[in-house]
């Protein structure tokens, strides 16, 4: 039954979450196997690692990047950098499939012409979470963010422009895409601790890709 419901949501098109924010149920499903293979190739060059926040906390989520710029965090702050600080090598190139999926997703949600220069790859194991935050390290808030969920489901928190605004809880499944731009670009959001489970494609984890135009 849930399979049928998912399929119906897919043909129904974008679900508008707020002005500027849309959920594209299953939009990346046909690409999931190829995306995961490409993620493995990126992680072979730029391994997933647990970054330290400026406040000194080690993140429960493991992170790597591909594209011209990668997202990094350390005691000095959050920023985008052209090199992986761990190896001093440039981040791996963004796979063509990633670029195409990001562009098509953004267009579906009303943001044509999206050309991401950074893709942050996050891996969640059971218990890993992302506290409520805004994505504001990018130079230009005119471009949206495209977020692709793979593997185990997660509960996504979608808040308002103030940290204390009420949050909507959204279950994100393998192949779901969320696009975030315009009036929604600076909304607070986060991910609740991942619950235990195994997914046929990823095993005991969830992987999230977020595509950004960082400069
Ligand atoms: C995640 N995503 O879903 C984390 N940011 O694992 C994000 O932090 C995020 O999904 C901006 C826009 C969409 C997102
Ligand atoms: Fe975010």
d(CA 82, CA 84): 7
Task: Give the domain extent around 167.
Answer: 4-212
What tens digit of pLDDT does each residue of 145-170 get?
A: 999 999 999 999 999 999 999 999 99
Q: Any idea what DSSP says for residue 27? A: T
> Looking at residues 41-58, what average pLDDT do you find?
96
Name the residue at shortest CA distance from atom 8 of ligand 1.
Answer: 190
* Contact assessment for residue 74 and residue 98, using Cβ atoms and an 8 Å cutoff: no
To the nearest whole percent, how much of the chain has pLDDT over 70?
95
Ligand nearest to the CA of 150: 1
For residue 132, give the CATH number of its domain.
2.60.120.590
- Sorted by sequence, the CB contacts under 8 Å of residue 154 that are 6+ apart come out as 124, 171, 172, 191, 192, 194, 206, 208
Q: Domains in the chain: how many in total?
A: 1
Six-digit token string for 177: 């895409």
The ligand 1 site (C-beta within 6 Å) comprises: 122, 130, 135, 145, 147, 156, 178, 180, 189, 191, 208, 210
The structure's pTM equals 0.95
To the nearest whole percent, how much of the chain has pLDDT over 90?
93
pLDDT band, very low/low/confident/very high, at 11 (cuts 50, 70, 90): low
d(CA 119, CA 70): 7
Nearest ligand 1 atom to alpha carbon 156: 3
């Amino acid at each position: 039954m849930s399979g049928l419901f998912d399929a119906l949501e897919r043909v129904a098109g974008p679900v508008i979450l707020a002005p500027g924010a849309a959920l594209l149920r299953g939009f990346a499903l046909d690409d999931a196997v190829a995306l995961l293979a490409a993620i493995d190739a990126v992680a072979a060059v730029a391994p997933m690692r647990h970054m330290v926040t400026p406040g000194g906390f080690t993140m429960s989520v493991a992170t790597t990047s591909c594209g011209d710029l990668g997202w990094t965090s350390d005691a000095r702050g959050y920023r985008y950098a052209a090199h992986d600080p761990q190896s001093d090598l440039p981040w791996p190139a963004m796979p063509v499939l990633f670029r195409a999926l990001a562009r098509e997703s953004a267009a579906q949600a009303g943001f044509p012409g999206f050309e991401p220069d950074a893709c942050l790859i996050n891996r969640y194991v059971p218990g890993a979470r992302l506290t409520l935050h805004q994505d504001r390290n990018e130079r230009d808030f005119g471009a949206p963010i495209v977020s692709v969920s793979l593997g185990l489901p997660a509960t996504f928190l979608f808040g308002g422009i103030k940290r204390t605004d009420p949050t909507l809880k959204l279950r994100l499944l393998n192949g779901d895409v969320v696009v975030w731009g315009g009036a929604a670009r600076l909304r607070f959001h986060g991910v609740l601790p991942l619950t235990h489970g195994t997914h046929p494609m990823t095993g005991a984890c969830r992987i999230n890709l977020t595509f950004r135009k960082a400069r």
